Amino acid sequence: MVSSTKGQNSGGVLSNVSFLNNNQPYLGNKMFEDNQGLSFYIVRDDLLHPFVNGNKARKLDGLLPLIEDHDVTDVVTCGGCQSAHAAAVAVSCAERGLKSHLLLRGEQPAILTGYNLISTIYGNVTYVPRSFYAHREKMLETHASMVAGSSGNVVYCNDIIDAFITAQTFERSKFVQMDAPRGTKSHSTKVLVVNEGAGDAVALLGLFRLVDYLSQDHLLGRTRAFNFVVDSGTGTTAVGLGLAALCLGLPWKVTAVMLANTIDAYREQERRLIFEFKRQFCFLLDIHKLNGADDGIVHWVDHIRPRKFGNILEGEIEACQQIAQKTGILVDPVYTLAAWEMATQITTAHGDADVVMLHTGGTLGMFGLAQRYKSYFGMLNDVTKS
């Protein structure tokens, strides 16, 4: 719930508004019966798993069963030093008895913390010079070949999806996790390469599962026109939400806050993912429902306070603190604060906008930011005392 404070709060980018978390919101038919005031919903995907949460969990949701079905023994992926994606892959692989090999950009930090620490504990981390990391495809291919050795083989996400479809085994697996005993698998090394951020079409399947779940009558239903707000790094999550809503015939809009690229780059990513999804998974869907997808399914918007990706600005740490203290919800200044600010702006400008913010997780990244922005985080005690 959002209310105006008319400057009562001390500083911060949300200084003119205050928040109150309603843990028992009206859902289903009750949404039509009572006015809940100025407010927006939050889908708490940050609570899915201690380390594998938010959109990282959703993007791996459709891939992990395929990895198990296809006897993969090792997974190679990459990301930044504090990559939530890399940590999610490491933990997910360890839970399934697989080995993960994580190529992290830059140098090893003096103190391991946040997602970097989780990646190191659960996976096999290699730090890669930035000049080498700039050529990601070659870097991943080279490292995967080294892991596979002379007797193993390297596969990509598209390879196992195409093999899966060709074998016509989709009805058996249905993209739900299976408990096939590892002892019955082949002992040869099979290395899967997963792109940075898991930004492939298979990642969209997890968003389909989420949208299908939320559209149940006792939750958001299928008739009300919600505006989903999400922060966008690669843009995969936003495209998945939009494509799922279109395919399921829902009157939902997706507003994506661009954090890491230009609008042209995001639109190209949108076109690429939709094309790949049509090619690989058209047998799952009524293809006619995708006719409007080529015209764009995501409303891409600029960050309220634009900056170079990864940077945080003065007042944003205090804004995260304000939200945490008022609602018990932790957001981070790089990703989820951007979505929170946009959800707040739309809600205050259009009181009946029916806004839903998808919390994409990533809050362990705060530990890495605290090392990088010591002066900003050091001011928190002063704000609390005042």
**pLDDT per residue over 104-118, tens digit each?**
999 999 999 999 999
**Residue with more model confidence, 49 or 198:** 49
**Can you give the pLDDT at residue 179?**
46
> Is the pLDDT reported for residue 30 higher than 90?
no
Q: With the CA atoms of 166, 171, 172 and 173 taken in that order, what torsion angle do they form, in degrees rounded to the nearest 10?
A: 90
Distance set, CA 57 to CA 120, 149, 197, 203, 316 (Å): 19, 30, 11, 10, 26
Instruction: Give the pair of three-digit tokens for residue 163.
Output: 């093999």
Instruction: Report d(CA 58, CA 212) in Å as an integer.
Output: 13
Structure confidence by residue, pLDDT tens digits, 179-189: 444 444 557 89
The DSSP symbol for 26 reads -
The dihedral region occupied by 185, where left means phi > 0, alpha psi between -120 and 50, and beta the remainder, is beta
75-131 per-position pLDDT tens digit: 999 999 999 999 999 999 999 999 999 999 999 999 999 999 999 999 999 999 999
Go through the domains of the chain in sequence order and give each one's CATH number.
2-51+201-375 (3.40.50.1100), 71-169+186-194 (3.40.50.1100)
The two structure tokens encoding residue 312:
């945080």
Per-residue confidence at 169, pLDDT binned at 50, 70, 90? very low
Predicted confidence at residue 26, as pLDDT, reads 86
pLDDT tops 90 at residue 331: yes
Q: How far is CA 59 from the centre of its chain?
A: 7
Q: What integer is the mean pLDDT of 294-316?
A: 90
CB 109 within 8 A of CB 134: no
Higher pLDDT among residues 302 and 186, named by residue: 302
How far, in Å, are 30, 37, 49, 131, 207 from residue 226 at the CA level?
15, 16, 26, 43, 16
What percentage of the chain has pLDDT greater than the value 90? 67
pLDDT of residue 171: 54
Looking at residue 35, its pLDDT comes to: 66
DSSP 8-state code for residue 302: E
Distances (CA, A) of 158 to 12, 161, 164, 288: 45, 5, 10, 24
Q: What is the pLDDT of residue 385?
A: 52
Q: Model-level pTM?
A: 0.89
Task: Look at residues 46, 357, 44 and name the one whose alpha carbon lies nearest to residue 228.
Answer: 357
Chain centroid to CA 174: 22
pLDDT class of 32 with cuts at 50, 70, 90:
confident
Q: Is 224's pLDDT higher than 60?
A: yes
Alpha-carbon distance of 74 to 58, in angstroms, equals 20
Q: Is the pLDDT of residue 8 over 70?
A: no
Give residue 178's pLDDT: 44
Question: Catalytic site residues?
Answer: 83
**Residues 365-384: pLDDT tens digits?**
999 888 888 888 887 776 55
pLDDT at 94: 98
- 143: Cβ–Cβ under 8 A, 6 or more apart, which residues? 76, 101, 103, 126
Please state the rounded mean pLDDT for residues 38-47: 95
The Cα 386–Cα 328 span in angstroms is 20
